[in-house]
Amino acid sequence: MFKPTAGFVFEVMGHKYIVANTKTLFTIRSLSNMSSEDLDLSHVSGVHKFSLHDQRVDLERVNQYHRPLATNVAGIDAYAFEVSTNNTICGIVFFQFRIAMGHPIHYVFINKLWQMWHRDYRHWTWKLVFVVTEENERDFEEQQWKPSSGANTWKGRVSQYVIGVNAGALWEAMHT
């Protein structure tokens, strides 16, 4: 299978895996300090597909896994909100599905959200979770921001994490 095709298939299956498993905690590993933490998306109950032409992001859809209609959004493949115990948004989690070990992060879309939300929501935690194959998870390292002129700014705003998924879990999710 050609690498671009394999990447596309992994992403499609990966979206299904994330949505199918929101009722259990995901263990994600920080790429800056290698510590692990739990990611709770148990409030997510469905998928919302959105257009990049929509200038506002729907903060009313807290319980949705947000996927762009376009397949070539720079920097992310999906996002979901983290919520506190009183059901208010306390963070945003971006997902990027990767079969390659190195892939720069193009922050165009993330920057758009930052510009729209930074005044009211800068206290949120902003996370970028790379969903990779289980084989690549252990050696996966912090990725570079592109263009490099804003790299230090984005490194301070958005924390990078990784989660490894095995092939069996992907196939199982496809049947749910």
DSSP string of 79-107? EEEEE-TTS-EEEEEEEEE-SSS---EE-
Give the global pTM: 0.90
Q: In terms of residue numbers, what domain contains 98?
A: 3-174
Q: Which pair of tokens denotes residue 100?
A: 């390659």
pLDDT tens digits, residue range 2-40?
566 888 888 889 989 999 999 999 999 999 999 999 999
Cis peptide before 147 (omega within 30 of 0): yes
pLDDT digits (tens, 9 = 90+) for 69-114: 877 677 789 999 999 888 888 999 999 999 888 888 988 888 888 8
Q: Rounded to the nearest 10 degrees, what angle do helices 3-20 and 167-174 cross at? A: 70
User: In this structure, what are the phi and psi dihedrals at residue 88, rounded to the nearest 5 degrees?
Assistant: -105, 150
Number of domains in the chain: 1
The closest alpha carbon to 129, from 13, 37, 59, 61, belongs to: 37
Tokens at residue 155, please?
Answer: 């490194």
Q: Which residues neighbour 158 within 8 Å (Cβ) at sequence distance 6 or greater? A: 94, 110, 126, 127, 128
